[in-house]
């Protein structure tokens, strides 16, 4: 028998690859943080001697969810300025609050709260765009979470950097210092076409080509953004970025709500990924992304929550369900974004967008053991005709029974392994008092 670290048995295993596959009474063998094999539980017991065997007889085991777009530290601004359109929300409330309060401490504390929320909900990897990424990294590492961290660029000064060159220099230095960390990866993260100039975009295009990292950017989020680009640059934002060399397989277009058919064709042809954030788009009245047309064109779809200030949850189960329902309702086609495709977008689609599809996103031998066991024991989760359907349309994040990152259990029964809930509650109250005292 082969010695391994962990054997995880479950009633169902949904590996995501091959697409739509559901396996009954299977097990995942894990050694040194990676998946050794996926095989029937009875055969696994004969083949492997595990230091630990974990049994989830009422659960479905899935790849860890990938939150393809968030601003994790903004958990500290959850509910701070609700029910406002995007630019009013940003310019009159969020940016001023950030100018007064954002610091490395703010980011680390806010990201710890976000990482805790996401891990309990089965999210094992987040793609984060925010200031002080080294503080975000520290928070994610303290809880054992995988993170893709943005080397942010924006033209105006903040407490983090003075101008676009300073942002990029600090981001690149941070990446150089941490690029060998097994739980960290990196993206260039120009905020948006309306906050980043052409010269900065051109530099980012060069860096992306040299470093082989994704470019994570808000794009075509609102109709006003598109109109302003036509006024200022004579072209729509996607065309402007294409002209500047930013559109290609490395591009993660966040939101992508207002798209013409020719733009969707361009994105498909160039291999662009879309990070779809349905709840945030609805809450800010930005619109509904054309998911059916994107899917028909073959554009890789990932799912994100956006930040807690504009959602106000970091709940990928809710996002999967909403994404599937909106795609059907907006297109008038019930077959659009079926449950298996929604789950794929929330796992392998996000991994592919981040350039991590060889590492995470599906339960395949050789990949990292980033996994989530979702309990189907509740009465209102039964009977179970199709566990994938239940994952998308019925299950809630509170049904997540256990979560592993790189083979290490980081949450079980909604309790974190590496942090006390009382400590996190104290952080939240501390920052609430500071912001309320303004």
* 174-216 residue pLDDT tens: 999 999 999 999 999 999 999 999 999 999 999 999 999 999 9
- Average pLDDT for 270-288: 97
- State phi, psi for 294 to the nearest 5 degrees: -65, -45
Q: 3-state DSSP call for residue 250?
A: coil
Residues 6 or more apart whose Cβ sits within 8 Å of residue 313: 117, 279, 305
Report whether pLDDT(438) > 80: no
CB atoms within 10 A of CB 4: 21
Task: Give me the CATH topology for the region 2-63+369-406.
Answer: Urease, subunit C; domain 1 (2.30.40)
Mean pLDDT of the chain: 96
Task: Compute how many other C-beta atoms are within 10 angstroms of the C-beta atom of residue 233.
Answer: 14
The whole-number average pLDDT for the span 106-123 is 97
81's tokens: 């300025």
Query: Domain 65-353 falls in which CATH fold?
Result: TIM Barrel (3.20.20)
Band of the pLDDT at 425, cuts 50, 70, 90?
Answer: confident
146-153/123-128 β-pairing: parallel
- Which tens digit of pLDDT belongs to each residue from 338-382? 999 999 999 999 999 999 999 999 999 999 999 999 999 999 999
- pLDDT, one tens digit per residue, over 14-49 is 999 999 999 999 999 999 999 999 999 999 999 999
The CA distance from 406 to 425, in Å, is 27
The yes-or-no verdict on residue 422 having pLDDT over 80 is no
Whether the bond into 383 is cis, omega within 30 of 0:
yes
pTM of structure: 0.97
| Helix, strand, coil fractions of the chain, as percent rounded to 5 | 45, 25, 35
Strand order in the sheet with 400-405: 34-40, 23-31, 2-13, 48-63, 371-375, 400-405, 408-412, 415-416
What does the pLDDT read at residue 437?
A: 67
Q: At what angle do helices 421-436 and 104-120 cross, to 10 degrees?
A: 130
Find how far residue 83's CA is from the centre of its chain.
Answer: 24
Between CA 305 and CA 338 the distance in angstroms is 19
CATH 3.20.20.140 domain position(s) in the chain: 65-353
| Long-range contacts (CB closer than 8 Å, 24 or more residues apart) made by 337-343 | 337/291, 337/292, 337/295, 337/301, 339/386, 339/388, 339/389, 339/391, 339/392, 339/393, 340/19, 340/20, 340/388, 341/19, 341/295, 341/301, 342/303, 342/392, 343/14, 343/16, 343/62, 343/388, 343/391, 343/392
Q: With pLDDT > 70 as the criterion, what percentage of the chain qualifies?
A: 99
What is the pLDDT, as a whole number, of residue 51?
98
CB within 8 Å of 97: residues ≥ 6 apart: 77, 80, 81, 435, 438
pLDDT, one tens digit per residue, over 62-94 is 999 999 999 999 999 999 999 998 889 989 999
Phi-psi region of 352 (alpha: psi -120 to 50; beta: other; left: phi over 0): alpha
Residues of the chain with CATH 2.30.40.10: 2-63+369-406
Nearest CA-CA partner of 346 in 307, 399, 301? 301
DSSP 399-410: GEEEEEETTEEE
């Amino acid at each position: 028998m082969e010695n391994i670290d962990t054997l995880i048995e479950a009633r169902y295993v949904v590996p995501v690859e091959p697409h739509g596959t559901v396996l009954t009474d299977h097990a995942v063998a894990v050694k040194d943080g990676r998946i050794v094999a996926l095989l029937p539980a009875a055969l696994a017991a004969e083949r492997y001697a595990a230091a630990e065997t974990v049994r989830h007889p009422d659960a479905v085991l899935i790849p860890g969810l990938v939150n393809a777009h968030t601003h994790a530290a903004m958990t500290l601004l959850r509910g701070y300025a609700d029910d406002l359109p995007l630019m009013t929300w940003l310019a009159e409330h969020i940016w001023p609050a950030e100018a007064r309060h954002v610091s490395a401490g703010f980011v680390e504390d806010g990201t710890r709260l976000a990482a805790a929320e996401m891990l309990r909900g089965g999210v094992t990897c987040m793609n984060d765009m925010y200031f002080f990424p080294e503080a975000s990294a520290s928070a994610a590492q303290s809880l054992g979470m995988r993170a893709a961290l943005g080397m942010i660029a924006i033209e105006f000064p903040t407490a983090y950097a003075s101008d676009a060159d300073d942002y990029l220099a600090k981001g690149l230095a941070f990446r150089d210092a941490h690029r060998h960390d097994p739980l960290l990866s990196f993206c260039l993260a120009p905020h948006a076409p309306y906050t980043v100039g052409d010269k900065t975009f051109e530099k980012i295009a060069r860096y992306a080509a040299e470093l082989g990292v994704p470019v994570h950017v808000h794009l075509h989020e609102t109709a006003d953004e598109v109109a302003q680009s036509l006024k200022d640059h004579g072209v729509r934002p996607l065309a402007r970025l294409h002209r500047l060399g930013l559109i290609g397989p490395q591009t993660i277009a966040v939101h992508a709500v207002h798209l013409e058919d020719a733009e969707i064709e361009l994105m498909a042809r160039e291999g662009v990924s879309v990070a779809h954030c349905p709840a945030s788009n609805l809450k800010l009245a930005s619109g509904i992304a054309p998911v059916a047309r994107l899917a028909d064109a073959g554009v890789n779809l990932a799912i994100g929550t956006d930040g807690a200030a504009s959602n106000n949850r970091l709940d990928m189960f809710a996002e999967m369900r909403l994404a599937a329902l909106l795609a059907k309702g907006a297109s008038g086609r019930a077959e659009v974004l079926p449950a298996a495709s929604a789950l794929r977008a929330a796992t392998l689609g996000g991994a592919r967008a981040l350039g991590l599809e060889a590492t995470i996103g599906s339960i395949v031998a050789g990949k990292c053991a980033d996994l989530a066991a979702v309990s189907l024991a509740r009465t209102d989760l039964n009977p179970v005709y199709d566990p994938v359907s239940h994952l998308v349309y019925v299950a809630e994040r509170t049904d997540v029974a256990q979560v592993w990152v790189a083979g290490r259990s980081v949450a079980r029964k909604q309790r974190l392994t590496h942090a006390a809930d009382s400590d996190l509650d104290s952080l939240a109250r501390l920052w609430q008092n500071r912001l309320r005292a303004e």
